[in-house]
Structures are given as C-alpha cells and as structure tokens.
Structure 1
Amino acid sequence: MSILPRGHLVALLSAALLPASAMAAATCEVIPDSMTEFPASVGKPEYRKELLPAHDVRLTVTVGADGRATEVAVESSEDPEPARRSALLWRYQCQGKQGGVAEWVLHHPAQQCQLNITSKNYNPPRYPPKTFRAGVQGQVLLGLQPQGDRQLARKVYIAKSSGSEALDQAALEAGRKWSFDCSGPVDGTEPAQDVPITFALN
C-alpha cells in the first residue's frame, strides 16, 4: 500500500471538506452547431419599432452534466430575456463530465430586418381541428431568422414550446410563410426574432 506524503494528504482532505460552490467549476464552451440550429435572438418584433443597433451581450451559463444550461445570467444594454432564452436552447461541452460554467461575450450585429406584418396577417396559424375539439390551448414562442434575397424566414424553430406538438407544428407551418422587410440581402449573421403565437378557444 502506497502512502501519500503529508502535504498531499492534507490537500486532499481539505478539498474533500470544501463545499461544492467553493471548488473551481470546470470551463465549458457552447457547441457552435447548436447556435446554428437556434440562432441568437434579439426579441419579439413590434410593428414600426426601430431596429436594434449592434450591441454585446455578456453571458454566464451554468451547465449541467448533460451539457444543458441550468442557469443563465445576462448583462446587456438591451432586453436580456431573448439572450437568456437562446442560451437555454444551446448545448455545451465541458471539461470532465460534471458540468461547469461557460462565460463569453456574444456580439449582435445591427438588425436589418423587420417582420412584415401583412405577410403574418395573411398567413395566420391554423388551429389544428383535433386539438381544438380536444380543448387544448397554449402559447408557442416561434424563433425566426431571415435569410436570402426573398427575406423569408429560412430558419424557423420553436424557441419555447406550448407543450402540444400539434400547436407547435401549426406555428412552424405559419412561420415558414412569413417574410421580412430588410435593407438588403442578409446572411446567417442577422439576429433572430421571437414571435409569440397564442392558441385560445375564445
């Protein structure tokens, strides 16, 4: 049986007695593919609202052992909620298998596109008949990122589920038909926007 030197033994015992919060958390990084799947959002669109200028968002994300965010702290000159929702959707890779903390500054370029309200009004979400008859209600938060010359929402995703797969799917189908008014062709750097869609029986 090997015997540890006294100094090493004391260090090990001290570490064992420390609370988990006092130990250094493992460093984590966001997985780029997950950010591509769920583009960083700048918020809910409002008709005739001024487009947001370029700005930075400082994120501190606590990551669980499964690589998912469990807590998100945001520092931003703009509404922090869209960044927090986005960070909760992303996946992370940490040193070791116990989770950790990811810290970085996310840069949002100046917003160039605004949702075309007419296209939204002409293509409203359709309440699925079976879901309606079953009395299922809910709200979907739909994420939209415009891309390309036609400025359609090339990237459409569920930023927050209603809890009903049928309602989520109905929202996705509608969102794919909506268009944006942009100052010119845009690429994948254009910030995404969140659009709330409510399915109610009354």
Structure 2
Amino acid sequence: MRRVGSGKRSRETPPPRTKTVAPPPPPPIPPPRGAPPIDVAEPRPTDVVTPPSPPSPPAPTPNVEASVDASYKNRNPPKYPPAALRAGITGTVVLIIDVDASGNVTNVSVEKSSRNRDLDRAAMDAARKWRFNPGSQGGQKVAGRVRVPVDFKM
C-alpha cells in the first residue's frame, strides 16, 4: 500500500553557510635590539679603518733624446704596403728604436701610430733591418735609443 501525502513536500532547510575566514596576520616583530656598545680602552687592529693610500704619481716618460748618432750606416726605406697604396692611405709612423753598442737594432716600438696597421707594421719591419752609428761616451761606443719618424706619402 502506498501512502499518499498531503501534497506538500517536506523541505528541510539547510543549515546556514559559514564562511571560513583566516585569522589576521600577526603584527610584524620589530628587529631585535643590538647589544649596547662596549667601551674599549684601545681599539683593536681590526677596529681601525685605514683609508686607501693615494695613487702613485705617473711614471716619468723615458728620455728618448737621440742617444745614438741618428746617422745611418744602412737605412733602406720601408716597402709601401700594396693594400695601403691601392687605397691611397698615407701617414707617418714615429718609431722608438733601441740600438746596441755595435749599431744593431735590438728593439723597435711604435711611439705614434699612423692609425693604419699595415703602415705601422711595414715601418717596424724595415727598421729591424737598419744599422746605426752607435753613440759614444768617454771614447767608448754605447748602446742608446733613437726616435725616427717614417713617412708614407704618395
């Protein structure tokens, strides 16, 4: 047998919904106070801060006056680099040449570049083959240094 109701459905009311809320964050904790300073009669070596020393003065430029007789025993001019010749590049290279007591070149460096690597290299290569009349001091032949400009002109 079937029961027939009065036509009303029984409704149960759901419980009220509750919202879950996170608790508020705790207030920030202030940083701990440092220990009070301790008075020390004399500072320790690690406590003393020494300022950096001032920079040293620039080294004096070497004296490159002609300490060798600038006359040459043998000075063939450098070969003009073909690429520079085709491009019409000109310039002057100033070389510093160290000469031994026999007049042989011992070192060549560029003091002032022509701003073209090929011209600088050609001047240095030629200068390594040159020979100079060595300087003399007290009747003795001595090594020296000479400044030689090398011009590349068309």
The bucket for the TM-score relative to the shorter chain is 0.5 to 0.7
Shift of 1:175: 0.7
Q: Which of the residues 132, 139, 144 maps onto 1:180?
A: 132
Answer 1 or 2: higher relative contact order, Cα 8 Å, separation at least 6.
Answer: 2
% identical equivalent positions: 31
Aligned-pair Cα RMSD in Å: 2.9
Is the counterpart of residue 168 in structure 1 residue 120 in structure 2? yes
Gaps of 5+ in 1: 2-23, 44-110
Q: What SS does structure 2 have at the residue aligned with 1:28?
A: coil
Higher strand share: 1
TM-score for both structures, normalised by structure 1: 0.43
C-alpha spacing 1:119/1:26, structure 2 compared with 1 (3 Å): same
Deviation at 1:180, TM superposition (A): 1.6
- Alignment length, in residue pairs? 101
Q: State the match for 2:56 in structure 1.
A: 27
Q: Find the aligned partners of 1:198 and 1:175 in 2 and give their Cα distance.
A: 13
Q: Secondary structure at the match of 1:131?
A: helix
Q: 1:198, 1:118 → 2: CA distance?
A: 19
Question: TM-score, with normalisation over the residues of structure 2?
Answer: 0.55
Q: From the two aligned structures, give the one with the greater helix fraction.
A: 1
Are residues 1:138 and 2:91 paired? yes
Whether 1:156 aligns to 2:114 is no
* Aligned-pair CA distance for 1:29: 5.3
Q: 2:73·2:132 contact (CA, 8 Å) conserved in 1?
A: no
* Moved >2 Å (runs of 4+): 24-31, 115-118, 182-187
Structure 2 segments unaligned to the other structure (5+ residues): 1-33, 35-52
Q: 1:118 to 1:147 in 2, by over 3 A?
A: closer
1:163 and 1:157 mapped to 2: Cα distance? Answer: 14
Q: CA deviation at 1:28?
A: 3.0
State which structure, 1 or 2, has the greater radius of gyration over its C-alpha atoms.
2
